[in-house]
Structure 1
Amino acid sequence: MSMKEKDRKKIGTLCCVVGAVCWGVSGTCSEALFRSYEIDTSWVTAIRMSVTGILLLGWTAARKKGTLTAMVKDKKTAVQLLLFALAGLLLCQYTYLAAIKSSNSGTATVLQNLSIVLIAIFICITTRTLPKKKQTVSILLALIGVWLIATKGSFTSLELSGPGLFWGFGAAAGAASYSLLSRNPVSKWGSLPVTGFGMLIGGLVFFLITRSWYLPTGLDGYASLLLAIIVFVGTLGAFTLFVQGVSMVGPVTAALLACLEPLTAALLSAVWLGSVFTAAELIGFACILSTVFLLSREI
């Protein structure tokens, strides 16, 4: 490997690491926001998606003139973008925030990582093939991990709330849907304009449905700071950095480095917000995160 290629790998790794950490920080800031203020997840989802979409499309328009117009005129792309926005990004963003509100950022982020298992199952079903050994082991590890997180090792009671578990699975389904629905348009147009349109469409739809132009009462400077971190650090910055990193180190390495997101969220949630994780939960986290290592080369 040449020195230039080594430098490229180092920069790409750094981008993935910083991007994943930014996502983890954003998740904990969301948890702090929901703990301190009476704010609906719908409003936060609409704001973060709309602002991010506008900024990404503005950046694309400045760098690649004509791309956005061409995407809108392409009917097939328009349909793909609509599905990606509503069944992918919007579902992913809303369920993730709802999972944080119902549990904590560490648990929500780990449960979201079940998406890689759902994608593996989806591929097996659509290709009509039986799961490989790694896939079978990963599914079993995921089930064990979810059971440990939900029950904390108890055989008689559910420790994680029903809504927390429901939205956690929803976050995993949303992340899987987002990944699968993005493949075709991203391969044709690139990730930034596709994500920009997806964010803007999903954000505006939710903005109108939830009438998010009304500001929640009681917001102060601290709330504004948390929102700014969620939007600019955890959505715009994290995505831009991580996508750049993927292009430089490849999807396999990027998927492994993305494990820093739940680890960051869990650590910050414990240190900053006082969340307590039992030994059973930590083992459950490890079981779910291990599926990323097993499946990263299978998908």
Structure 2
Amino acid sequence: MDLHTVTEVRDARRREPWRPGDAWLGGGTYLFSEPQPHIRRLVDLGRMGWPPLTRHPDGSLEIAATCTIAQLSRYGRRALQAPAAPLFEQCCRAFLASFKIWNMATVGGNLCNGLPAGPMISLTAALDGTCLLQAQDGALRRVPVTEFVRGAGVKDLAPGELLRSVTLPGRALACRTAFRQASLYGLGRSGALVIGTSDPADGSLTVTITAATVRPVRLWFPLPPGRGRLARAIGAAVDDTGWFDDIHGLPEWRRHMAFRLAEEVRHELTGGPADTPPRTPESHAHGEGAR
């Protein structure tokens, strides 16, 4: 879509004062998908030269905001030697987008949109990611992904501030993972997406709920919980206003699927008794095995 209100495109390497009507341009798949009447100038991040993916000596992985979904997918399939590697492809596939989108859409763009169904939010929240934010004066601050996304479309970003990268700790990449996703339609947007991680170092378990909730919810248990304790923890973490409501699923259905998929994830990673009612044709839930 043409953005007919845009009068200027600037290179982000040129430090210029931020002004009303400015917007960062990464891949542009969202910006050019619908009218943006408030935007007057695009500040292009495409030539910043940030390495898309960097594995640090401590085992952590830094993902640049400008890393594309295609680059992340290839890295997870071919280069990342870690138990959590299959989760990268699973979350990339949750986009249900064409190869053209994969080659342009960026990890940072998906995070900064802050949409509940954003699969890069799901991936980075589940793996305990931390956002590196850069202000106009160059000042840096770090915010956990679970705090960066505050609600549906609401982010912890000041005017002119940008998301520079997301770092996943090495211990999270060493975890076994389990993935579950549900949508109302076979190729529909995620209505509930639940990821579990099991840490071999200390035996802890995390369950992260996205898409069903207005913001990512990450629950950490020092020891694997029973199904009752898990259900109580979800109920305490998400009140009635925390379940998302749109055309892709009513809050009641999203809540039901989140509890159900969380129990499946718990069972898969712990081998404990599972309470999983039969699937219904209307609930296109699907998942991969633990890794």
TM-score, normalised by the number of residues in structure 1: 0.25
TM-score, structure 2 normalization: 0.25
Higher relative contact order, chain-length normalized (CA < 8 Å, sep 6+): 1
Greater fraction of residues in helix:
1
